[in-house]
């Protein structure tokens, strides 16, 4: 697998592609915003379309915002499927986007019909994990396809798990996003309570880090809330999309997910306030607006 393709070079995709390039492989890349100069300077070959990437690469990675984006790149004009049509046998498409589990199953079947393999491999860890190559990667697909691409996935992450058949990786990612959203909401409520009661929220956070309430969300996003550091590592609009997938799935499965729904509504309130492109820790601002009190700084 000396020829690797990468489509989608945003906040996370660009550093992930850089890790693959560092393996010594030839990297063929395409992005609507263009291939970043740093990747070009390191030897990446810029392609004019997703089709060209698929024609040149043995393994094609996708890192795109949403389900319609993946469908367009795979099956639209000059898409990956057209590049596989004349020679897909032996190739693998690895979708690292966070999208619908049900549509992922359909995408996999359509790609496999062209002779290629398909692995869904969404990630958790945000921009920090992408840059540090410490992402958690949740995979769905055939055992053989997963085994082929695992060495490449190990260049981008540490905790890499084959969850099951096609779509299972996406299902795990939706579950991950439920847990993260509810943790962000819990941390925001706790720090808001502490601040309004007159305690120093940063000291409260430090105290809680030594107890059973300690979590990665309290550590990272709690600090963001106190320091008002909402430059995006993972944007509210993307997390809103993921919670929408969770609630769509819950309706289809006949499940009640009341707290997932409340977190989705808080993120929707943030979007209405123009915070869709802020970090998802900015969910706290919806609660602050409801309480007319800020965890730190001005409400």
Catalytic residues: 173
Compute the distance between CA of residue 193 and CA of residue 283 in angstroms, rounded to an integer.
15
Contact 50, 31 (CB under 8 A): no
Q: What angle do CA 154, 12, 87 make, to 5 degrees?
A: 65
The candidate with the shortest Cα–Cα distance to 95, out of 122, 57, 127, is: 122
Whole-Å CA distances, 231 to 224, 236, 284: 9, 11, 14
Compute the distance between CA of residue 78 and CA of residue 227 in angstroms, rounded to an integer.
45
SS3 call for 45: strand
| Residues found in the chain | 299
SS3 call for 30: strand
């Amino acid at each position: 697998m000396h020829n690797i393709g990468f489509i989608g070079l945003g906040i996370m995709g660009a550093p992930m592609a850089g890790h693959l390039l560092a393996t010594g492989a030839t990297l063929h890349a395409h992005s609507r915003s263009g291939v970043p100069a740093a990747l070009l300077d390191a030897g990446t070959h810029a392609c004019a379309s997703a089709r060209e990437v698929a024609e040149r690469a043995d393994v094609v990675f996708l890192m795109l915002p949403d389900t319609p984006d993946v469908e367009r790149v795979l099956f639209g004009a000059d898409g990956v499927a057209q590049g596989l049509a004349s020679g897909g046998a032996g190739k693998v498409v690895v979708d690292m986007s966070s999208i619908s589990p049900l549509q992922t199953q359909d995408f996999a079947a359509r790609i496999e019909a062209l002779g290629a393999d398909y692995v869904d491999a969404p990630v958790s860890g945000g921009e920090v994990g992408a840059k540090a190559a410490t992402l958690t990667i949740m995979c769905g697909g055939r055992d053989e396809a997963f085994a082929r691409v695992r060495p490449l996935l190990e260049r981008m992450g540490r905790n890499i798990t084959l969850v099951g058949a096609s779509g299972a990786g996406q299902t795990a990612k939706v579950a991950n996003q439920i847990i993260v959203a509810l943790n962000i909401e819990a941390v925001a409520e706790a720090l808001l309570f502490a601040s309004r009661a007159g305690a120093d929220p940063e000291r409260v956070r430090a105290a809680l880090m030594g107890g059973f309430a300690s979590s990665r969300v309290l550590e990272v996003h709690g600090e963001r809330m106190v320091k008002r550091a909402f430059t995006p590592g993972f944007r509210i609009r993307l997390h809103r999309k993921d919670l929408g997938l969770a609630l769509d799935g819950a309706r289809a499965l006949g499940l009640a997910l009341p707290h997932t729904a409340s977190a989705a509504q808080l993120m929707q309130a943030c979007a209405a306030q123009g915070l869709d492109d802020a970090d998802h820790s900015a969910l706290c601002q919806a609660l602050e607006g409801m309480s007319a009190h800020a965890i730190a700084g001005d409400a």
